[in-house]
Each structure stands twice: as structure tokens, then as C-alpha cells.
Amino acid sequence: MSATAATDRGPVRIPSPDHDWTVLLFVTEPGIGEALPRLAGCTTGLCSVRDEAASFARANARVLGVSAHPPGALGAFARERELGYPLVGDEDLELGRMFGVPEVRVGERTLYERAVVVLDRRGRVRSVIHPVPDPARHAASALKTLAELARAPRYEDV
């Protein structure tokens, strides 16, 4: 699997050709907790990943946030919080549906539930983490999975 996705910083390749892992952080949207308290914490989750940027770099992982918004819609949000990684706008829900990421309806809109999808360099899904009940542990969940995958034997395609 290989695709190009639109982000707040321009197009990116999924999976990253320059990293061992691509970590897709599926989030709802900032402020969603007012409408759906069980999904509160989008900002906390995204910032937890920002705060662990060095750990993701050591794991040779490219991090991308993914939301069901138009590309660039959360660009100002990302800059204000200095996230340091691109946010994919997946307004048609194609990327999330490709990986089976759970969705939730909010009024007339469909958004993603909080989840993590880890891809290897070839685009194979190596892990899907859902639910991520504690947004403050969004980064920790992904990093734990990356550590487990790094220890696992790799079977490359022939």
C-alpha cells in the first residue's frame, strides 16, 4: 500500500519511504468533548505525541495526525500548539476506512474515534490500537507498540 495524503504542510507519502514506521494518529477534533465527553482530549493526545518527538525519532517513525477534516483545516491549530508533525485532512474518510478505524457521528458529521495505526516501510499494517481511552497516553501507546515491533522478528517479502 502506498498513497499520497494532503496535510497542513503539503502532500506526504504514506507510508514514509524514509522511515521504518509510519504512525497514523487518528483523532476527532479539538473541542469535541463538549458534544461527546467520551472523546474529549484530542488536544491532549496530539500534544502528548509532540512531547515525545525525540522518542518517535529514535524509533525511526514518521508521525502523522489524521482527522476527518479538509486538508489544512487544522493547520492553525497545529502551528499554535507547535505540534511538529503534519496533520492529514481525510475529509472523505478514505484513509481511516482503509484501515478500519472506528467512526462516530456528531450531528451531521462523521469523525474518527481516537486510534493509532502503525505501518511498516512497505505499508503493511503492523498494529491497530483502539480504543485509546486516555488521551494523555496516546503517545505512550504508540511508542510501546513501536518498541514491541522493533523486538519482533521481521519477515520480509521475498
| Residue 131 pLDDT greater than 70, yes or no | yes
Point out the least confidently predicted range of 31-40, 103-112, 137-146. 31-40
Contact 127, 41 (CB under 8 A): no
Contact 150, 63 (CB under 8 A): no
Residue 110 confidence class, pLDDT cut points 50, 70, 90? very high
Kindly state the percentage of the chain with pLDDT values over 70: 96
Residues facing 129 on adjacent strands = 116
Query: Pick the residue with more confidence: 77 or 52?
Result: 52
Region 69-98 average pLDDT:
91
- Cα separations in angstroms, 8 against 20, 64, 88, 94, 146: 23, 11, 7, 17, 25
The pTM (predicted TM-score) of the whole model is 0.92
